[in-house]
Amino acid sequence: MSKRSETWLVVIVVVVVMLLVAIPGMRTYMRATATHIHPNPQNMPS
């Protein structure tokens, strides 16, 4: 395998891993820092 193809393989793997980490990480961050629309849902009229 040539040096150039190894470099591209590493770049592709890094991009895929970053996406696999960033998407769930962003979802977790948004869920942890979001303000609740209805902090006490039992008191809301139906």
In Å, the largest CA–CA distance within the chain is: 67
Q: Which pLDDT tens digit goes with each residue over 13-33?
A: 999 999 999 999 999 999 999
- Look at residue 13 in the predicted model and tell me its pLDDT: 98
When pLDDT is cut at 50, 70 and 90, the band that residue 10 belongs to is: very high
Task: Give the predicted TM-score (pTM) of the model.
Answer: 0.63
HSE-CB for 31 with a 13 A CA cutoff: 6
Report whether pLDDT(40) > 90. Answer: no
